[in-house]
Structure 1
Amino acid sequence: MKGVILAGGTGTRLAPLTKLVNKHLLPAGKYPMIHYAVAKLADAGIEDILLVIGKQSAGLFIDYLGGGKPWGVRLTYRIQEEAGGIAQGLALAEGFVAPGEKMVVLLGDNLFEDDLKPLVEKFGAQEQGAMVVLKEVDDLNRYGVPVFLRDSIIFIEEKPSTPKSGYCVTGIYMYDSGVFDTIRKIRPSPRGEMEITDVNNVYAMEGRLRYGVLNGWWTDAGTFDSLREAGEKLSAGKGGER
């Protein structure tokens, strides 16, 4: 199974720091944020990882991560030329992930405590399709929220005013190689981006979307408050360093 880390984007919520450096290189605890995404995939047994980055700070990513040797992985880099959405960034993994292979996709600003290995093994046993990883949270109107029918996700509603479940979709996704065909079927959203929720909803409508649940803490460290909170937890050893 391959790994894909999406670390492009402009990080506007962390400005003015992100005018100087890509947000995934900002410190979270003792390390840059991107350190933990690589470590989580390595600990899950993923050895080949594609890192999708923007042009900003590209050299700094390479200076810090190199080819991945400290983590026992092989890193490949690709540039996302513009901020066109998560699905657009994921599309750059085509070719890196071969037909018939599966992948684990992490958003580089997602920091979390759980070991990914049990979820990766669960998806490995899944014949085809996709898996999203959920977390029970209070501020559901910030996220995509799954709608369930019995024990299956039938739709993911983006930033709902009246959530239909108590879970949000985190930035941890798993796909078969058919995801690239699915991305080609969707169209940009009103904000002009290729949305990963639209991709996940294609799988949901086809009955091929499964899910796992995080038990430990999780945050998308895209704001100063969430980055500080994650840094405190990581400094206390709750999240792994490798």
Structure 2
Amino acid sequence: MLAGMRPLRGIVMAAGTGSRLAPVTLGVSKHLLPVYDKPMVFYPLSVLMLAGVRDVLLITTKDDLPAYQRVLGQGDHLGMDIRYAIQQQPGGIAEAFHIGRDFIGSDPVSLVLGDNIFYGHAFTPMLQKARATNTGATLFAHAVHDPRRFGVVSFDADGAVQGLVEKPQNPASQYAVTGLYFFSADVVDVAVSIAPSARGEREIIDVLEVYRQQGRLQAQLLGRGFTWLDAGTPDSLLEASMFVQAVEHRQGMKIACLEEIAWNAGWINAQTLLTRLDQLRGTPYGRYLDCVLNGQGGGGQST
């Protein structure tokens, strides 16, 4: 936990059918598909870790739960507490707050979607700024070429959030709402108060709209040079893998190396890292952990 800050809970939303990636996802959860050299879920989990989150709830389906438990366990190897919950059927992103009500308790919470990948300069300070503002909600927005495919946030002349529209035909801005959010603890009550949409799901944009109407919504803009990828289609999954490969090969550092982040945060000791290294010895990932253990890693700025 960062000094002077309240504990922050984290939720990774890794449910859903991954229908846009079928037939690949007929046998495996979308969020466990490889993005270059590691499972997709490592990337959003690394975001929570960079924000200082050590208590995480991963929401998935009943069928996929055992696979996540094999991959991540209880988080001991990361100095974390990872728990699991099941979404019985598609009910919208905002249903995460119903499912995670007891987990959230009276603490602020960050929610990240399991197929979102973030990479850019000074990302960690952005995350820490968002978690320090726990009296409302913070969304992360990124300029995109075709905002009609996304939820769009617009701003007034003073830079305050003015409007939120899901997949507008005539977008008021180029800024898409990404799958990363920070909320005060009352998000559970807010989520309960919203009605399901026409498709029968509780929409996250409706939760954000409540905070906007209350004057408690802020937006963190991810500027030029920042990369945000939604790896939910075959093309975007390939694009994400090629991006990660290019960065890692060029810089010699891994993106979303969970053990490296935990090591640099002081959450695990040398013996814990060595045990993990032994499990992965003989692989490129294991060799990288060996470099981390011997002080030759990338410094932990892994997303």
Q: Distance in 2 between matches of 1:12 and 1:79?
A: 18
1:95 matches 2:99: no
CA-based RMSD: 1.5
1:149 matches 2:162: no
Query: 1:103-136: per-residue Cα shift (whole Å, max 9, x none)?
Result: 1110000011136532232123325010000001
TM-score relative to the length of structure 1: 0.95
Map 1:77-226; keep pairs closer than 5 Å. Answer: 77-99=84-106, 101-114=107-120, 116-150=123-157, 151-215=159-223, 216-226=226-236
Say how many residue pairs are matched: 241
Q: Distance in 2 between matches of 1:40 and 1:68?
A: 15
TM-superposed CA distance for 1:56, in Å, is 2.5
The percent of aligned pairs where both chains have the same amino acid is 39
Q: Distance in 2 between matches of 1:135 and 1:226?
A: 16
Task: State the AA in 2 paired with 1:199.
Answer: V
Task: State the AA in 1 paired with 2:160.
Answer: S
Task: State the AA in 2 paired with 1:9.
Answer: G
Contact 1:25 1:34 in 2 (8 A): yes
Partner of 1:51: 58
Partner of 1:71: 78
TM-superposed CA distance for 1:235, in Å, is 2.0
Contact 2:134 2:183 in 1 (8 A): no
TM-score relative to the length of structure 2: 0.76
Query: Which of the two has higher C-alpha Rg?
Result: 2
Q: 1:117 to 1:25 in 2, by over 3 A?
A: same
Q: Which has the higher contact order (CA 8 A, sep 6+)?
A: 1
TM-superposed CA distance for 1:55, in Å, is 1.5
Task: State the AA in 2 paired with 1:190.
Answer: A
Partner of 1:241: 257
SS of the equivalent of 1:191 reads coil
Instruction: Return structure 1 stretches of 4+ with deviation > 3 angstroms.
Output: none
Which is helix-richer, 1 or 2?
Answer: 2
Query: 1:126-153: per-residue Cα shift (whole Å, max 9, x none)?
Result: 2501000000111201101012122111
Q: Distance in 2 between matches of 1:70 and 1:163?
A: 44
Task: State the AA in 1 paired with 2:117.
Answer: L
Which is strand-richer, 1 or 2?
Answer: 1
SS of the equivalent of 2:96 reads helix
Query: 1:71-124: per-residue Cα shift (whole Å, max 9, x none)?
Result: 33210111111111101123212111121x211110000011136532232123
Q: Distance in 2 between matches of 1:125 and 1:65?
A: 27
TM-superposed CA distance for 1:154, in Å, is 2.5
Q: Distance in 2 between matches of 1:240 and 1:18?
A: 23
